[in-house]
Protein backbone atom coordinates (compact mmCIF):
# COMPACT_ATOMS: atom_id res chain seq x y z
CA UNK A 1 0.00 0.00 0.00
CA UNK A 2 1.43 3.41 -0.93
CA UNK A 3 2.13 5.96 1.78
CA UNK A 4 -0.73 8.46 2.07
CA UNK A 5 1.27 10.58 4.51
CA UNK A 6 3.71 11.74 1.83
CA UNK A 7 3.71 15.48 1.37
CA UNK A 8 2.23 16.09 -2.07
CA UNK A 9 3.02 19.34 -3.84
CA UNK A 10 4.41 17.98 -7.16
CA UNK A 11 1.32 17.40 -9.24
CA UNK A 12 0.19 15.83 -12.49
CA UNK A 13 -3.13 17.20 -13.76
CA UNK A 14 -5.89 15.17 -15.37
CA UNK A 15 -8.13 17.34 -17.55
CA UNK A 16 -11.34 15.54 -18.59
CA UNK A 17 -13.53 17.17 -21.23
CA UNK A 18 -16.50 16.22 -23.40
CA UNK A 19 -17.88 17.21 -26.79
CA UNK A 20 -19.57 20.62 -26.78
CA UNK A 21 -18.15 21.61 -23.39
CA UNK A 22 -16.90 24.99 -24.61
CA UNK A 23 -13.44 26.49 -24.30
CA UNK A 24 -11.40 23.54 -22.98
CA UNK A 25 -8.17 25.56 -23.18
CA UNK A 26 -9.61 28.27 -20.90
CA UNK A 27 -10.89 25.65 -18.46
CA UNK A 28 -7.49 23.92 -18.39
CA UNK A 29 -5.77 27.25 -17.70
CA UNK A 30 -8.21 28.02 -14.92
CA UNK A 31 -7.68 24.63 -13.28
CA UNK A 32 -3.93 25.15 -13.50
CA UNK A 33 -4.36 28.48 -11.72
CA UNK A 34 -6.42 26.74 -9.04
CA UNK A 35 -3.62 24.25 -8.52
CA UNK A 36 -1.00 26.98 -8.29
CA UNK A 37 -3.23 28.92 -5.88
CA UNK A 38 -3.18 25.83 -3.68
CA UNK A 39 0.61 25.90 -3.69
CA UNK A 40 1.43 22.91 -5.91
CA UNK A 41 4.00 22.66 -8.68
CA UNK A 42 2.50 21.49 -11.97
CA UNK A 43 4.77 18.88 -13.57
CA UNK A 44 2.55 17.88 -16.48
CA UNK A 45 -0.99 17.24 -17.60
CA UNK A 46 -3.06 14.65 -19.45
CA UNK A 47 -6.17 15.62 -21.40
CA UNK A 48 -8.89 12.96 -21.41
CA UNK A 49 -12.02 13.02 -23.50
CA UNK A 50 -14.89 11.54 -21.49
CA UNK A 51 -18.30 11.01 -23.07
CA UNK A 52 -19.37 7.98 -21.01
CA UNK A 53 -17.57 8.07 -17.64
CA UNK A 54 -15.78 4.88 -16.66
CA UNK A 55 -17.43 3.67 -13.41
CA UNK A 56 -14.04 2.48 -12.15
CA UNK A 57 -11.74 5.43 -12.91
CA UNK A 58 -14.06 8.06 -14.47
CA UNK A 59 -11.44 8.36 -17.24
CA UNK A 60 -10.75 5.39 -19.51
CA UNK A 61 -8.34 2.62 -18.52
CA UNK A 62 -5.94 3.62 -21.29
CA UNK A 63 -5.80 7.20 -19.99
CA UNK A 64 -5.35 5.88 -16.45
CA UNK A 65 -2.30 3.91 -17.64
CA UNK A 66 -0.97 7.04 -19.38
CA UNK A 67 -1.32 9.04 -16.18
CA UNK A 68 0.43 6.28 -14.21
CA UNK A 69 3.38 6.37 -16.61
CA UNK A 70 3.63 10.18 -16.30
CA UNK A 71 3.46 10.02 -12.51
CA UNK A 72 6.31 7.53 -12.43
CA UNK A 73 8.41 9.34 -15.03
CA UNK A 74 8.09 12.74 -13.34
CA UNK A 75 8.24 11.40 -9.76
CA UNK A 76 4.94 13.13 -8.96
CA UNK A 77 3.32 12.54 -5.59
CA UNK A 78 -0.13 13.96 -6.33
CA UNK A 79 -2.69 13.68 -9.13
CA UNK A 80 -5.36 16.38 -9.41
CA UNK A 81 -8.47 15.70 -11.48
CA UNK A 82 -10.54 18.56 -12.92
CA UNK A 83 -13.84 16.88 -12.17
CA UNK A 84 -15.78 15.59 -9.20
CA UNK A 85 -14.98 11.92 -8.58
CA UNK A 86 -17.04 9.41 -6.67
CA UNK A 87 -15.33 7.97 -3.57
CA UNK A 88 -14.93 4.62 -5.36
CA UNK A 89 -13.34 6.25 -8.43
CA UNK A 90 -10.96 8.23 -6.25
CA UNK A 91 -9.85 5.13 -4.33
CA UNK A 92 -9.49 3.05 -7.50
CA UNK A 93 -7.33 5.71 -9.12
CA UNK A 94 -5.14 5.96 -6.04
CA UNK A 95 -4.54 2.20 -6.08
CA UNK A 96 -3.85 2.21 -9.82
CA UNK A 97 -1.58 5.28 -9.80
CA UNK A 98 0.04 4.46 -6.44
CA UNK A 99 -0.20 8.07 -5.35
CA UNK A 100 -2.72 10.44 -3.82
CA UNK A 101 -5.62 11.62 -5.96
CA UNK A 102 -7.64 14.78 -5.26
CA UNK A 103 -10.64 15.82 -7.33
CA UNK A 104 -11.85 19.34 -8.16
CA UNK A 105 -14.04 19.64 -5.06
CA UNK A 106 -11.21 18.51 -2.79
CA UNK A 107 -8.83 21.01 -4.37
CA UNK A 108 -11.23 23.93 -3.89
CA UNK A 109 -11.81 22.83 -0.28
CA UNK A 110 -8.06 22.85 0.24
CA UNK A 111 -7.77 26.41 -1.07
CA UNK A 112 -10.65 27.47 1.16
CA UNK A 113 -8.87 25.86 4.13
CA UNK A 114 -5.78 27.98 3.42
CA UNK A 115 -7.63 31.27 2.85
CA UNK A 116 -10.34 31.35 5.51
CA UNK A 117 -9.41 33.89 8.17
CA UNK A 118 -12.50 34.58 10.26
CA UNK A 119 -13.75 32.22 12.96
CA UNK A 120 -16.94 31.63 11.00
CA UNK A 121 -15.10 31.00 7.75
CA UNK A 122 -12.84 28.40 9.37
CA UNK A 123 -15.84 26.64 10.88
CA UNK A 124 -17.60 26.55 7.52
CA UNK A 125 -14.51 25.18 5.76
CA UNK A 126 -14.00 22.44 8.32
CA UNK A 127 -17.65 21.44 8.20
CA UNK A 128 -17.55 21.19 4.39
CA UNK A 129 -14.31 19.21 4.56
CA UNK A 130 -15.70 16.76 7.09
CA UNK A 131 -18.74 16.12 4.92
CA UNK A 132 -16.45 15.57 1.94
CA UNK A 133 -14.17 13.24 3.91
CA UNK A 134 -17.09 11.26 5.33
CA UNK A 135 -17.77 9.75 1.90
CA UNK A 136 -14.12 8.76 1.37
CA UNK A 137 -13.30 6.67 4.41
CA UNK A 138 -11.39 3.43 3.94
CA UNK A 139 -9.91 0.89 6.34
CA UNK A 140 -6.32 1.38 7.38
CA UNK A 141 -6.12 5.16 7.10
CA UNK A 142 -4.54 7.02 9.97
CA UNK A 143 -6.33 8.93 12.70
CA UNK A 144 -8.16 12.21 12.13
CA UNK A 145 -5.46 14.38 13.69
CA UNK A 146 -2.55 12.60 12.03
CA UNK A 147 -3.20 14.26 8.68
CA UNK A 148 -3.64 17.86 9.78
CA UNK A 149 -1.67 20.38 7.75
CA UNK A 150 0.71 19.53 4.96
CA UNK A 151 -0.18 18.53 1.48
CA UNK A 152 -3.01 19.44 -0.83
CA UNK A 153 -6.10 17.41 -0.03
CA UNK A 154 -4.87 16.73 3.49
CA UNK A 155 -5.25 20.20 5.06
CA UNK A 156 -8.03 20.27 7.60
CA UNK A 157 -9.63 17.26 9.17
CA UNK A 158 -8.12 14.33 7.27
CA UNK A 159 -9.51 10.80 7.82
CA UNK A 160 -9.98 8.45 10.77
CA UNK A 161 -9.73 4.68 11.10
CA UNK A 162 -12.87 3.00 9.85
CA UNK A 163 -13.75 1.56 13.27
CA UNK A 164 -14.11 4.99 14.90
CA UNK A 165 -14.34 7.52 12.08
CA UNK A 166 -18.10 7.65 11.61
CA UNK A 167 -18.75 8.30 15.28
CA UNK A 168 -16.00 10.92 15.56
CA UNK A 169 -17.04 12.67 12.37
CA UNK A 170 -20.71 12.68 13.34
CA UNK A 171 -19.87 14.20 16.73
CA UNK A 172 -17.60 16.82 15.17
CA UNK A 173 -20.16 17.74 12.50
CA UNK A 174 -22.84 18.10 15.16
CA UNK A 175 -20.63 20.34 17.29
CA UNK A 176 -19.56 22.51 14.34
CA UNK A 177 -23.15 22.86 13.18
CA UNK A 178 -24.18 24.17 16.61
CA UNK A 179 -21.27 26.60 16.74
CA UNK A 180 -22.05 27.87 13.25
CA UNK A 181 -25.69 28.37 14.12
CA UNK A 182 -24.65 30.52 17.06
CA UNK A 183 -22.28 32.63 14.92
CA UNK A 184 -24.91 32.99 12.20
CA UNK A 185 -27.46 34.22 14.74
CA UNK A 186 -24.98 36.93 15.71
CA UNK A 187 -24.43 37.86 12.05
CA UNK A 188 -28.18 37.94 11.53
CA UNK A 189 -28.50 40.38 14.40
CA UNK A 190 -25.85 42.59 12.81
CA UNK A 191 -27.69 42.52 9.47
CA UNK A 192 -30.99 43.33 11.17
CA UNK A 193 -29.29 46.28 12.88
CA UNK A 194 -28.23 47.58 9.47
CA UNK A 195 -31.79 47.12 8.24
CA UNK A 196 -33.11 49.11 11.19
CA UNK A 197 -30.66 51.86 10.36
CA UNK A 198 -32.07 51.88 6.82
CA UNK A 199 -28.59 52.34 5.35
CA UNK A 200 -28.59 50.94 1.79
CA UNK A 201 -26.64 47.69 1.43
CA UNK A 202 -24.38 46.96 -1.54
CA UNK A 203 -22.55 43.69 -2.21
CA UNK A 204 -19.73 43.00 -4.63
CA UNK A 205 -20.13 39.78 -6.60
CA UNK A 206 -18.33 38.38 -9.61
CA UNK A 207 -16.22 35.63 -11.06
CA UNK A 208 -13.11 35.00 -9.01
CA UNK A 209 -10.12 37.17 -9.94
CA UNK A 210 -12.28 39.84 -11.61
CA UNK A 211 -10.89 42.50 -9.25
CA UNK A 212 -13.63 42.72 -6.62
CA UNK A 213 -11.32 43.15 -3.64
CA UNK A 214 -9.22 45.76 -5.47
CA UNK A 215 -12.41 47.68 -6.21
CA UNK A 216 -13.57 47.31 -2.60
CA UNK A 217 -10.30 48.77 -1.32
CA UNK A 218 -10.41 51.60 -3.86
CA UNK A 219 -13.94 52.60 -2.82
CA UNK A 220 -13.47 52.30 0.94
CA UNK A 221 -9.72 52.75 1.50
CA UNK A 222 -10.00 49.31 3.06
CA UNK A 223 -7.36 46.67 3.62
CA UNK A 224 -8.91 43.54 2.17
CA UNK A 225 -6.34 41.08 0.80
CA UNK A 226 -6.22 41.45 -2.98
CA UNK A 227 -3.98 39.39 -5.24
CA UNK A 228 -3.87 37.76 -8.66
CA UNK A 229 -5.08 34.48 -7.14
CA UNK A 230 -8.28 32.50 -7.42
CA UNK A 231 -10.38 32.75 -4.23
CA UNK A 232 -8.17 35.51 -2.78
CA UNK A 233 -11.13 36.61 -0.61
CA UNK A 234 -13.31 34.19 1.34
CA UNK A 235 -14.59 35.93 4.44
CA UNK A 236 -17.20 38.69 4.10
CA UNK A 237 -15.90 42.17 4.87
CA UNK A 238 -18.30 45.08 5.37
CA UNK A 239 -17.31 48.76 5.30
CA UNK A 240 -19.12 52.09 5.27
CA UNK A 241 -19.25 53.81 1.89
CA UNK A 242 -19.39 57.60 2.02
CA UNK A 243 -19.27 60.42 -0.55
CA UNK A 244 -22.41 59.26 -2.36
CA UNK A 245 -25.12 61.70 -3.38
CA UNK A 246 -27.69 59.44 -1.70
CA UNK A 247 -25.91 59.51 1.64
CA UNK A 248 -23.89 56.70 3.26
CA UNK A 249 -24.22 53.04 2.37
CA UNK A 250 -22.54 49.84 3.49
CA UNK A 251 -20.67 47.67 1.02
CA UNK A 252 -19.62 44.03 1.40
CA UNK A 253 -16.92 42.10 -0.42
CA UNK A 254 -17.82 38.45 -1.05
CA UNK A 255 -16.19 35.25 -2.23
CA UNK A 256 -15.52 35.01 -5.95
CA UNK A 257 -17.57 32.51 -7.91
CA UNK A 258 -16.23 29.89 -10.30
CA UNK A 259 -17.68 27.43 -12.79
CA UNK A 260 -18.66 24.06 -11.29
CA UNK A 261 -18.43 25.40 -7.76
CA UNK A 262 -19.28 22.39 -5.56
CA UNK A 263 -22.80 22.64 -4.20
CA UNK A 264 -21.60 21.71 -0.71
CA UNK A 265 -19.43 24.82 -0.72
CA UNK A 266 -22.31 27.02 -1.83
CA UNK A 267 -24.34 25.64 1.07
CA UNK A 268 -21.44 25.91 3.51
CA UNK A 269 -20.54 29.53 2.84
CA UNK A 270 -23.86 30.95 3.91
CA UNK A 271 -22.23 33.91 5.67
CA UNK A 272 -20.47 35.51 2.73
CA UNK A 273 -23.28 34.62 0.32
CA UNK A 274 -25.92 36.03 2.68
CA UNK A 275 -24.40 39.47 2.13
CA UNK A 276 -25.34 39.14 -1.54
CA UNK A 277 -28.81 37.77 -0.83
CA UNK A 278 -29.68 40.55 1.63
CA UNK A 279 -28.26 43.43 -0.43
CA UNK A 280 -30.30 46.24 -1.97
CA UNK A 281 -27.94 46.33 -4.95
CA UNK A 282 -25.31 43.98 -6.36
CA UNK A 283 -22.20 45.31 -8.06
CA UNK A 284 -21.48 42.52 -10.55
CA UNK A 285 -17.78 42.92 -11.33
CA UNK A 286 -16.47 41.58 -14.65
CA UNK A 287 -13.05 41.65 -16.26
CA UNK A 288 -13.57 43.91 -19.27
CA UNK A 289 -10.45 42.45 -20.92
CA UNK A 290 -11.74 38.88 -20.69
CA UNK A 291 -13.18 37.54 -23.95
CA UNK A 292 -15.33 35.10 -21.97
CA UNK A 293 -16.82 37.75 -19.73
CA UNK A 294 -20.41 37.17 -20.88
CA UNK A 295 -20.18 33.43 -20.26
CA UNK A 296 -18.63 34.05 -16.84
CA UNK A 297 -21.43 36.52 -16.06
CA UNK A 298 -23.91 33.71 -16.66
CA UNK A 299 -21.93 31.45 -14.32
CA UNK A 300 -22.19 34.06 -11.56
CA UNK A 301 -25.89 34.66 -12.23
CA UNK A 302 -26.46 30.91 -11.95
CA UNK A 303 -24.91 30.81 -8.47
CA UNK A 304 -26.93 33.89 -7.46
CA UNK A 305 -30.10 32.07 -8.50
CA UNK A 306 -29.00 29.10 -6.42
CA UNK A 307 -28.69 31.23 -3.27
CA UNK A 308 -32.00 33.07 -3.90
CA UNK A 309 -30.27 36.31 -4.90
CA UNK A 310 -31.28 36.22 -8.55
CA UNK A 311 -33.89 38.96 -8.12
CA UNK A 312 -31.59 41.48 -6.40
CA UNK A 313 -30.99 44.51 -8.69
CA UNK A 314 -27.57 44.58 -10.35
CA UNK A 315 -25.18 47.20 -11.67
CA UNK A 316 -22.52 45.76 -13.98
CA UNK A 317 -18.99 46.97 -13.26
CA UNK A 318 -16.69 46.44 -16.21
CA UNK A 319 -13.31 46.47 -14.47
CA UNK A 320 -9.76 46.53 -15.89
CA UNK A 321 -10.46 48.96 -18.73
CA UNK A 322 -6.75 49.83 -18.63
CA UNK A 323 -6.11 46.32 -19.97
CA UNK A 324 -9.08 46.34 -22.36
CA UNK A 325 -8.22 49.68 -23.97
CA UNK A 326 -11.65 51.14 -23.10
CA UNK A 327 -12.63 54.56 -21.73
CA UNK A 328 -14.49 55.24 -18.47
CA UNK A 329 -18.24 55.61 -19.04
CA UNK A 330 -21.72 54.84 -17.75
CA UNK A 331 -24.07 52.75 -19.89
CA UNK A 332 -27.77 53.51 -19.36
CA UNK A 333 -31.06 51.82 -20.24
CA UNK A 334 -33.92 53.39 -22.21
CA UNK A 335 -35.18 55.12 -19.06
CA UNK A 336 -31.80 56.66 -18.30
CA UNK A 337 -30.92 54.41 -15.36
CA UNK A 338 -27.30 53.23 -15.03
CA UNK A 339 -26.83 49.58 -16.01
CA UNK A 340 -23.04 49.38 -16.34
CA UNK A 341 -19.98 51.40 -15.36
CA UNK A 342 -16.64 50.98 -17.13
CA UNK A 343 -13.64 51.62 -14.86
CA UNK A 344 -10.27 50.49 -13.58
CA UNK A 345 -10.07 49.79 -9.88
CA UNK A 346 -6.28 49.54 -10.11
CA UNK A 347 -5.75 53.00 -11.67
CA UNK A 348 -8.82 54.76 -10.26
CA UNK A 349 -10.25 55.65 -13.68
CA UNK A 350 -14.05 55.79 -13.57
CA UNK A 351 -14.44 55.43 -9.80
CA UNK A 352 -16.20 58.81 -9.72
CA UNK A 353 -18.66 57.49 -12.31
CA UNK A 354 -19.37 54.44 -10.14
CA UNK A 355 -20.11 56.66 -7.15
CA UNK A 356 -22.40 58.74 -9.34
CA UNK A 357 -24.27 55.65 -10.53
CA UNK A 358 -24.58 54.32 -6.98
CA UNK A 359 -26.00 57.62 -5.82
CA UNK A 360 -28.62 57.54 -8.58
CA UNK A 361 -29.65 53.91 -8.03
CA UNK A 362 -29.70 53.99 -4.23
CA UNK A 363 -31.02 57.48 -3.76
CA UNK A 364 -34.10 58.26 -5.77
CA UNK A 365 -35.72 61.61 -4.97
CA UNK A 366 -34.32 63.59 -2.08
CA UNK A 367 -36.08 65.12 0.90
CA UNK A 368 -34.87 68.49 2.14
CA UNK A 369 -36.74 69.91 5.09
CA UNK A 370 -36.53 71.35 8.60
CA UNK A 371 -37.58 69.12 11.50
CA UNK A 372 -38.14 69.88 15.17
CA UNK A 373 -37.75 66.91 17.52
CA UNK A 374 -38.55 67.04 21.24
CA UNK A 375 -35.96 65.65 23.63
CA UNK A 376 -38.27 62.68 24.18
CA UNK A 377 -37.68 61.64 20.54
CA UNK A 378 -34.10 60.54 21.16
CA UNK A 379 -34.67 57.17 19.48
CA UNK A 380 -35.83 58.76 16.24
CA UNK A 381 -32.97 61.27 16.37
CA UNK A 382 -30.48 58.40 16.71
CA UNK A 383 -32.02 56.55 13.75
CA UNK A 384 -31.96 59.66 11.56
CA UNK A 385 -28.33 60.23 12.46
CA UNK A 386 -27.36 56.60 11.81
CA UNK A 387 -29.06 56.80 8.41
CA UNK A 388 -27.01 59.87 7.50
CA UNK A 389 -30.18 61.93 7.04
CA UNK A 390 -29.14 64.92 9.19
CA UNK A 391 -27.25 67.62 7.29
CA UNK A 392 -26.96 69.94 10.31
CA UNK A 393 -28.51 70.30 13.75
CA UNK A 394 -28.82 72.52 16.81
CA UNK A 395 -30.10 71.55 20.22
CA UNK A 396 -31.70 73.65 22.96
CA UNK A 397 -33.96 73.11 25.96
CA UNK A 398 -36.90 72.33 23.65
CA UNK A 399 -35.12 69.63 21.63
CA UNK A 400 -33.33 69.27 18.31
CA UNK A 401 -33.64 71.59 15.33
CA UNK A 402 -32.62 69.44 12.34
CA UNK A 403 -31.96 70.11 8.69
CA UNK A 404 -32.88 66.90 6.84
CA UNK A 405 -31.22 66.15 3.50
CA UNK A 406 -31.50 62.52 2.39
CA UNK A 407 -33.16 60.28 -0.20
CA UNK A 408 -36.86 59.63 0.35
CA UNK A 409 -36.00 55.90 0.31
CA UNK A 410 -33.93 56.45 3.46
CA UNK A 411 -36.48 58.58 5.32
CA UNK A 412 -39.68 56.70 4.49
CA UNK A 413 -38.88 53.45 6.37
CA UNK A 414 -38.26 55.42 9.56
CA UNK A 415 -41.92 56.45 9.65
CA UNK A 416 -42.82 52.83 10.32
CA UNK A 417 -41.81 53.10 13.96
CA UNK A 418 -44.14 54.29 16.71
CA UNK A 419 -47.23 56.41 15.88
CA UNK A 420 -45.51 59.40 17.50
CA UNK A 421 -42.45 59.02 15.26
CA UNK A 422 -44.63 58.60 12.18
CA UNK A 423 -46.46 61.82 13.05
CA UNK A 424 -43.17 63.71 13.47
CA UNK A 425 -41.96 62.58 10.03
CA UNK A 426 -45.25 63.11 8.20
CA UNK A 427 -44.55 66.77 7.52
CA UNK A 428 -41.03 66.00 6.31
CA UNK A 429 -42.18 63.35 3.86
CA UNK A 430 -44.95 65.62 2.62
CA UNK A 431 -42.43 68.32 1.73
CA UNK A 432 -41.32 67.51 -1.85
CA UNK A 433 -38.73 70.19 -2.30
CA UNK A 434 -36.61 67.55 -3.96
CA UNK A 435 -33.45 67.80 -5.90
CA UNK A 436 -33.98 68.88 -9.48
b/e per residue, 138-153, with b = 16+ CB within 10 A? Answer: eeebeebeebeeebbb
pLDDT at 383 exceeding the cut of 90: no
**CA 59/CA 376 separation, integer angstroms:** 73
Decide if 345 contacts 283 (C-beta within 8 A).
no
**Mean pLDDT in residue range 68-81:** 94
**Mean pLDDT in residue range 29-53:** 89
Check residue 360 and give its pLDDT.
86
Q: Which CATH superfamily is domain 199-363 in?
A: P-loop containing nucleotide triphosphate hydrolases (3.40.50.300)
Decide if 28 contacts 44 (C-beta within 8 A).
no
Given pLDDT bands bounded at 50, 70 and 90, which one contains residue 347? very high
Higher pLDDT, 256 or 57: 57
**Mean pLDDT in residue range 128-153:** 57
pLDDT at 18 exceeding the cut of 60: yes
Check residue 2 and give its pLDDT.
45
CA torsion angle 269 275 278 283 (round to 10) = -120
Check residue 271 and give its pLDDT.
56
Every domain of the chain and the residues it spans: 1-197, 199-363, 366-430
Q: Give the range with max mean pLDDT: 77-91, 150-164, 168-182, 378-392.
A: 77-91
**CATH topology match: 1-197 vs 199-363:** yes
Q: What percent of the chain has pLDDT over 90?
A: 29
Check residue 342 and give its pLDDT.
97
How do residues 242-280 score in pLDDT, each as one tens digit? 888 877 888 988 877 877 776 666 665 655 577 777 788
Using alpha carbons, list the distances in angstroms from residue 18 to 15, 30, 85: 10, 17, 16
Decide if 362 contacts 406 (C-beta within 8 A).
no
Is this structure's pTM higher than 0.85? Answer: no
Q: Which fold has domain 366-430?
A: Alpha-Beta Plaits (3.30.70)
Looking at residue 418, the DSSP 8-state letter turns out to be: -
**CA 79/CA 92 separation, integer angstroms:** 13
Decide if 165 contacts 142 (C-beta within 8 A).
no
SS3 345: coil
Q: Give the range with max mean pLDDT: 126-135, 153-162, 389-398.
A: 389-398
Assigned architecture for domain 1-197 = 3-Layer(aba) Sandwich (3.40)
Given pLDDT bands bounded at 50, 70 and 90, which one contains residue 357? very high
Higher pLDDT, 2 or 287: 287
Check residue 24 and give its pLDDT.
80
Looking at residue 426, the DSSP 8-state letter turns out to be: H
What is the average pLDDT score of the chain? 79
pLDDT at 225 exceeding the cut of 60: no
**Mean pLDDT in residue range 397-422:** 78
Q: How would you classify the pairing of strands 201-206 and 249-253?
A: parallel
**CA 226/CA 271 separation, integer angstroms:** 20
Given pLDDT bands bounded at 50, 70 and 90, which one contains residue 93? very high
Question: Residue 246: which of 34, 408, 427, 78 has the closest Cα?
Answer: 408
Check residue 244 and give its pLDDT.
84
Amino acid sequence: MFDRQKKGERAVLVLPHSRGEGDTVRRAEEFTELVRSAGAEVLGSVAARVEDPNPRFYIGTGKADEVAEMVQALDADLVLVDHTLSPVQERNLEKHLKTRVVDRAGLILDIFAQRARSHEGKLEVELAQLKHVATRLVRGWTHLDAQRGGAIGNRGPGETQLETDRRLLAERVKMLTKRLEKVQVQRGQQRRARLRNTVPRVALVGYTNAGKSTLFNALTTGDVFAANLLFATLDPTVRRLDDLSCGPAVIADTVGFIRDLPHDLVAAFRATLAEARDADLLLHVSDAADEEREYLRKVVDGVLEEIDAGDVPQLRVMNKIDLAGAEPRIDRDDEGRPVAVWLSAATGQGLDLLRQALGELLGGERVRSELRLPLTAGRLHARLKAAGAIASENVDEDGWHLHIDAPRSVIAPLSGGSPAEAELLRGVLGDRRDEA
